[in-house]
Amino acid sequence: MVIGWLRRTLPSSLAGQLALGTALLLLVGVGSLVAWTGLRLQRAIVEQAEHHLETQAFLLSSALSGHVERITQAQAREEVSALVALYAQGLKARVVLLDRSLQPLARSDEHEEEEHRERERPKGPQPATQELVSALAGTEQHAIRPDPETGKPYLFVASPVLSRGEVRAVLQLGMPMAPVYAEIRRTWTALLASGGVVLLAGLALSVAMARYIARPLAQITRTANAMAQGDLSRRARPAGPKETRQLAQAFNQMADQVQETLARQEAFAVGSAHELRTPLTAIRLRLEMLQEHGLRDPSLTARYIPEVLREVEHLQRLVDHLLELARLRRGQTPPRVPQDLAPLLYEEAEHMAPLMERAGIVFQVEVPPHLPSVVANADEMRVVVRNLLDNALKNTPPGGTVTLEARPQNGWVAIAVRDTGKGIAPQHLPHVFEPFYRAEDERGRRGAGLGLALVKEITTSMGGQVSLDSTPGHGTTVTLRLPATGGWQHSPA
């Protein structure tokens, strides 16, 4: 119930919660400091008044010590009364000289008119209060209590009057506490005002800091909402403290990656549709021809059926490559085991040799009988090697040379396919591993542009690296580097 009430009562915004939390801390901190300081100053003011009155009592008792023995004489009594009245006027306090039985010997207010007194003055000896008892014992003492005559708070101090080392009388000083309390009130007022100013300044600063922290977060939220509505061009502006700037930068990086991913997906979808449409169109046209003229002209059937089968085969390869590419990007890989790739490379070379010979291309194989083992899947490696050799075959003119080579290399196994074709222009090199990408002069050639993209996905999923070097007019070299078993400790040269 309390938690629910707090949730309904507390601000919901981050800025409000930060400001409220800081305000509470300031209130507790400043309030505690003001209270502690005020109590210390209040005690200091009272102690100062007590010390001042005790000092004056000691001085006056010392001055009266020579007159106590002669107090019964009229002249001495007048001198004592004059001295008591003078001190009382200077101190603005009541001064009473008492004998050991606490009978008044002299009073500073003994000539005060009766109508000026708020209460009737007690007759006979003074009550044996704490400070008087201590003074009779030879020590000074003070006490704060209501005055019996006025009923107002007074500070009373009693000091022994000594003569020949003995207590002959007791001097009592009484000072109203009103001036002391007034000073305490002024002190508290000043402290509370100062604390209020500090608190208000702290609150203003806390609100400004809360907004300084929360404003960039609100801006990131607005940017995220705009992106959710489809405006992927929006970016957050780094502002505020270091953490919010880092958050905005990370958000912008994420937005860039999302936009790039969506652009790749769109391009992938467009490319897939384009590549699928070509064989489907060819199949549809040939089937329409067979439907219209196949019965009357059997030669059309003999001509178009093999072409349809080739288009279906091409379509099957395209779909297989698309599915393989999608599977690899989802992180789904087939079982892989350590194996020597040399036999597989010889097998693929033997498969491609007739095609190379038919195209008038010199095919060289530079693979040792054995290679260090790599963790791989044989079917995936066949796809990789066959795609590389197929690309080299398509891009090498008759009389050219295609070379398949493999060698150990500092804990890695390097596999390279080199051709002497026309090469790739520099502006196309950054894009050759993108799906469906083909240079302008290759647009008319058969193929979906998925071969090198599939090669890269398979190689990187095995922890390997792939690179392409090409010089226009001199040919292209594609190199794979796969980590040999136990050979992760070296980088490829």
| Dist. CA 171–CA 173, nearest whole Å | 7
Highest mean pLDDT among 174-178, 201-205, 323-327, 489-493: 174-178
| Dist. CA 40–CA 187, nearest whole Å | 11
For residue 443, what pLDDT is reported? Answer: 42
Q: By the 8 A CB rule, do 71 and 105 touch?
A: yes
Q: Name the band, by pLDDT with cuts 50, 70 and 90, for residue 211.
A: confident
| Dist. CA 217–CA 236, nearest whole Å | 9
pLDDT per position as a tens digit, 389-434: 988 998 899 999 999 999 999 889 999 999 999 888 888 888 888 7
pLDDT per position as a tens digit, 357-369: 999 999 999 999 9
For residue 104, what pLDDT is reported? Answer: 86
| Helices of type H across 341-417 | 342-358, 378-395
Tokens of 104: 């008044």
pLDDT per position as a tens digit, 212-253: 887 888 888 888 888 888 887 888 888 888 888 888 889 888
DSSP track, 155-191: EEEEEEEEETTEEEEEEEEEEESHHHHHHHHHHHHHH
Share of the chain above pLDDT 70, in %: 82
Q: Of the ranges 276-285, 315-324, 438-447, which one carries the lowest mean pLDDT score? A: 438-447
pLDDT higher than threshold 90 for residue 344? yes
pLDDT per position as a tens digit, 36-55: 999 999 999 999 999 998 99
Q: By the 8 A CB rule, do 120 and 96 touch?
A: no
Q: By the 8 A CB rule, do 489 and 433 touch?
A: no
Pick 398 or 331 by higher pLDDT.
Answer: 398
| Dist. CA 330–CA 25, nearest whole Å | 51
**Domains identified in the chain and CATH numbers:** 15-112+124-182 (3.30.450.20), 242-328 (1.10.287.130), 337-483 (3.30.565.10)
pLDDT per position as a tens digit, 466-484: 999 998 888 999 999 999 9
For residue 492, what pLDDT is reported? Answer: 42
pLDDT per position as a tens digit, 168-190: 889 999 999 999 999 999 999 99
pLDDT per position as a tens digit, 87-112: 888 878 889 888 888 888 888 876 55
pLDDT higher than threshold 80 for residue 486? no
Q: Name the band, by pLDDT with cuts 50, 70 and 90, for residue 296.
A: confident
For residue 444, what pLDDT is reported? Answer: 43
For residue 474, what pLDDT is reported? Answer: 87
Average the pLDDT over 338-347 and give the result.
93
Q: What does pLDDT average to over the chain?
A: 81
For residue 18, what pLDDT is reported? Answer: 75
pLDDT per position as a tens digit, 256-274: 888 887 777 776 666 666 6
pLDDT higher than threshold 70 for residue 374? yes
| Dist. CA 411–CA 6, nearest whole Å | 63
Q: Of the ranges 127-131, 298-302, 471-475, which one carries the lowest mean pLDDT score? A: 298-302
Q: Look at the pTM and tell me if it is higher than 0.75.
A: no
For residue 490, what pLDDT is reported? Answer: 40
